[in-house]
Amino acid sequence: MPPATQALIITNVVVFLLELSGGIPFDQLALWPGENFEPWQLVTYGFLHDPNGFAHIFFNMFALWMFGSDIERLFGSRFYLAYYFVCVVAAALSHLAVTFLLGSPPVPTVGASGGIYGLLLAFGMYFPHRRVMLLFPPIPMSARTFVILFGALELVLGVTGTASGVAHFAHLGGMLGGWLMILYRRNKRIF
């Protein structure tokens, strides 16, 4: 496993264990829209996960390993980390903007999903014909189809308000941040 991907997974797992032990100030590090917002939350929320369930961190870290390893090898560790954190911050900003526009009640947001969705986008763009397998149900498909399916699903779920408690527009914001970083990587002059 490449070093930055490994470091991100280890950091997320250590932070999760600290969450379970009550060793970190969860309310200060989670992303809060409104009055409780602090600038550092744009990054720190991406290392927190739902302490009431193992599935949240498991699937995020599985996807980080699955997609992040190849993207890190392609981008190099330095650009990969910049890419990942831009996706995390873009996801946070998108979530804050949507909750503000909709007047949603302030609830904390946590998870690495914004960064994961950015990695998913890069994987689909750079390895479009690579085969991936859905877990439930087990259906093989191309990476490009997988990314389009997940992006469309997040848009539909976000617009309809289905699966409440999930920051669908944060996921889409992570993809947007990833797309902007890929544009930057391909043609730095336009920036």
Distances (CA, A) of 13 to 7, 43, 55, 61: 10, 16, 12, 8
CATH number, residue 109: 1.20.1540.10
Q: Note down the domain range covering 134.
A: 3-190
CA-to-CA distance for 78 and 167, rounded, in angstroms?
28
Instruction: Give the model confidence (pLDDT) of 10-45 as tens digits.
Output: 999 999 999 999 888 988 999 999 888 999 999 999
- What is the overall mean pLDDT for the chain? 91
Domain count, the chain: 1
Checking if the pLDDT of 102 tops 80, the result is: yes
The single residue listed with the structure tokens 């993207």 is 71
Phi, psi values for residue 135, rounded to 5°:
-80, -45
| pLDDT value of residue 157 | 87
pLDDT in tens, 176-185: 999 999 999 9
Interval 135-179: pLDDT, tens: 777 889 999 999 999 899 889 988 887 666 788 899 999 999 999
pLDDT(57) > 70: yes
Instruction: Give the phi and the psi of residue 129 in degrees, each rounded to 5.
Output: -100, 0
